[in-house]
Structures are given as structure tokens and as C-alpha cells.
Amino acid sequence: MPHADFVHLRVHSAYSLSEGAIKADKIAALARDAGMPAVAITDTANLFGALEFSQACAAKGVQPIIGCQVALTREDNPRLPPDPLVLLAQDAAGLANLQRLSSLGFLETEPGLRAQLPLDRVAAHAEGLILLTGGAQGAPGRLLAEGQQREAARVLARLAGAFPDRAAVELHRHGTEDERAVEPGLIDLADQAGLPLVATNECYFASPEMHAAHDALLCIAEGRLLSDAARRRVTAEHWFKPARDMRLLFADLAEACDNTLAIARRCAVMAETRKPLLPVSP
């Protein structure tokens, strides 16, 4: 069976607590069944599923890509919701830095706020990591939506400078108006900065049939009703789509799909078991 010509680089497992609805080992099975040679796990703020995911991928002949969705503190107001970005480990140094950043996010964030990190902190631990900008919800996309094109270009330049030759401008096509509104601007910014585009589908559930159940999960997480218009929602498109669907979705930007494979080829590290680290007796 030939390999698929697209791999998912933005997948939330059930370890994205009260948010993801795919078991870590199920991600490996989905990738294998879709013919994808590799797949990433990018849980929100943590690496809880990295080992389970790595072992499942190894057992199924799929290359694991260890990643994390990190929240970037807003420079204009740290109290505002942070901007998401994705970090993927390409080697052992990258995995160690990803583990460090995940821990620092919880240790250094003010109580009551979501785990997050300032850009300078992320940049200090950038070795061995590949950065995806977060799509329409990431800092460049948000700034474009606010009409701040110059600031979006400045932030993108800082991100690219912190991750030289290891940054890509992320595009989503889940069908939302926010995504459609900022996509031309993101493409222009990538062109001006000389950065590659990469297509991702932020996967929260395995199939379209799981959308309603996932919607209920989000309600439970927030203590809201399904009828509440102001609550968080994701679209029915946030599922583990086959490569064929992603290629059709990005038929006008084939390079963005090609780059998922290019990024996968650069990642060559997995979480491994080790002996327990016991405390030293006094």
C-alpha cells in the first residue's frame, strides 16, 4: 500500500483534558489505516500521552511526531486569552526542550490563568523544535483579524527569528469565517517572510459522527448547556480526515500539504521508557 501524501500535524488526544476525544493509541491506528507514514500528537499544554502514543505508533509501523500546543502570553495584556502555537520535536534536544516548556508553563503561570509562556521563554528553549504559527487563532492570525498587519508581520518575524529555518505559517480550513478572513493575509505574510505554508486540520475527534458527542464534552468541561450560544464550539470538520480529503481541501495550495511530509521527515525522535527516577535518601 503506497503512503498517503499528507500527514496530520495537529491532533489532540484525550490527554487534551476535556477537549480531545481520541485515545492516544487510537491516533496511531487512524494514521496506519489512512496510510499515513507519520502522525503528530499535539495536546494542549502537556505531554501526558507522549509515551503511550510513541509506543502505539511503533507497534503499528507509524512514525510518531511528539508535539505540544503551547499558549503564548499576550504582550499587550497578559490577562487576555493567550495565543496558541504548535511545537514539534525534531530530535532529542527538541523533545527535552518541549518537556521543559510544558513544565514551565504550569510552574510559572499566575494562578487562575491557563498555562502559558512569554515568547522570550519559548525562544530560550527553541533548539530542536519546529514551530507552526497556530492558524487563524495564533498570534499572527489574531493580529490580522484585528487589522494590525504591521504588528502581525513583526510578531511573525520574531517567531521566525527564534526558530530559524524551523518555522511554518499554519493554515486551517475548517470552514469558519475567521479562517477565511485572515488566510490571504497569512499567505502574504509567509511570502514576505520567506516562510513555508503548512496545512493542518485540528483534529479533536476521530470521525464526523463523533461531533455531537464532542460538543457535549465541551459543555461538560465548561458547565454550559448545549443551547448556550456563547459557549465554545468546534466545527464538524475537526476530525481525522484522510489525506485525499485534505488534498482536495487545499487543491489550490498543494505545497501546504507537501510541507506536512517535509516536516515529518525532519522529526526523528520518540518518547521511550526508562527506569524510575527515585529520590535520593538522606
Q: For residue 80, what are the domain limits?
A: 24-266
Rg for the chain, CA atoms, rounded = 18
In a domain, 67, yes or no: yes
In a domain, 273, yes or no: no
In a domain, 277, yes or no: no
Query: What is the mean predicted confidence (pLDDT) over 237-266?
Result: 98
In a domain, 86, yes or no: yes
Closest by Cα among 116, 39, 106 to 84: 116
The set of cell numbers assigned to 91 is 530530535
Q: Is the pTM of this model over 0.85?
A: yes
Greatest Cα-to-Cα distance within the chain, rounded to the nearest angstrom: 64
Q: What is the pLDDT of residue 222?
A: 80
In a domain, 15, yes or no: no
CATH number of residue 249's parent domain = 3.20.20.140
Concatenate the DSSP letters of all residues of 175-229 into one string: S-HHHHHHHHHHHHHHHHHT--EEE---BSBSSGGGHHHHHHHHHHHHT--TT-T
In a domain, 4, yes or no: no
In a domain, 7, yes or no: no
Structural domains counted in the chain: 1
Give the CA-trace dihedral at 62, 4, 89, 16, to 10 degrees. -80
In the predicted model, is pLDDT for residue 1 greater than 80? no
Closest by Cα among 6, 4, 17, 13 to 199: 6
Closest by Cα among 186, 185, 158, 151 to 170: 186
Closest by Cα among 71, 16, 17 to 40: 16
- 29-71 per-position pLDDT tens digit: 999 999 999 999 999 999 999 999 999 999 999 999 999 999 9
In a domain, 127, yes or no: yes
In the predicted model, is pLDDT for residue 230 greater than 80? no
